[in-house]
Amino acid sequence: MGDVAIKEQSENTEESWLGLLFTIACAFAFAFALRVFVFQPFTIPSASMEPNLIEGDYIITSKYSVGYGKFAAAPLPFPIKNGRLFSRGPERGDIIVFKPEGRAQYYIKRVVGLPGDRVQMIAGLLYVNDDVHPQTKSALDAHSDTEFYGAEVRNENFGGTNTHQIFEHIKNHPGDNTKVYIVPDNQYFMMGDNRDHSGDSRLPRVQGGVGFVPSENIIGKAEFILLSAKPEVVFYKPWTWHKLRGSRFFKGLK
């Protein structure tokens, strides 16, 4: 009887381990599927999208809202080389995460030019298809967590209901006056909201910009800020949590 009991106990232990491993595998598969097909988190590493996104913001991007390109499952390959599966945009004004050609890093910028658009900067104002987009000035919030206190804040609108803010920081910046860019088919023109501190589509990749961004290089649309942390925050050190920016938690983006 003793030997039988030991054998039964051994079999039960093996079944328990197999059940646990199966549960863990399912959890990983579910998390991976969410990351590939639904949402993906990113951290903002620079000031190029201020005042709307600041360094230390943790954002959530949706992939289903724009479809799936060749980097949808990065670092694993995705069976798309040209265009995007279930493509749904993006639209002018969307904040988009993408990978420029020839670079390993992710970038985040705002779409200002769609395929076929004519884009130009004249005296710091953005023209799309020869129409200037209205920009009204507003005051910089005294409590803003930014180093660009001398920046002029402008409200920019692309003709929809949402208005977003941009920074104009350096007068007569080289990026304030550009040639006319005609956006090729299946590509997009991206710009940072911190206009004078953004390497974007105004410059080719060899000069520190991103050039035109192919449709298949788009990762997802930034939907909201999950949380935001100052550089001093270390998440495994609870005594630093008071440096979290609570006012930016669950903040929608536009």
The pLDDT value recorded for residue 142 is 54
Burial 184-208 (b: 16+ CB within 10 A, else e): eeebbbbbbbbbbbbbbbbbeeeee
CA separation for the pair 82, 112 (Å, rounded): 22
pTM of the predicted protein model = 0.86
- Tokens representing 190 are 């991206």
The pLDDT value recorded for residue 21 is 82
3-state secondary structure of 244: strand
Per-residue model confidence as pLDDT tens for the chain (254 residues): 555 555 555 556 666 777 778 788 888 777 777 777 788 899 999 999 999 999 999 999 999 889 888 888 887 788 877 778 888 889 999 999 999 888 888 999 999 999 999 999 999 999 999 988 878 887 776 556 777 777 888 999 888 778 899 998 888 888 999 999 999 999 999 999 999 999 999 998 888 899 999 999 999 999 999 999 998 999 889 899 999 999 999 999 98
The pLDDT value recorded for residue 162 is 80
Q: Is the peptide bond before 41 cis (omega within 30 degrees of 0)?
A: no
The pLDDT value recorded for residue 3 is 58
- Is residue 244 within 8 Å of 58, Cβ to Cβ? no
The pLDDT value recorded for residue 7 is 53
Cβ neighbourhood burial of 251 (10 Å; 0-12, 13-18, 19+)? middle
Three-class HEC string of 37-80: HCEEEEECCCCCCCCCCCCCEEEEEECCCCCECCCCCCCCCCCC
Task: Return the active site residues.
Answer: 48, 109
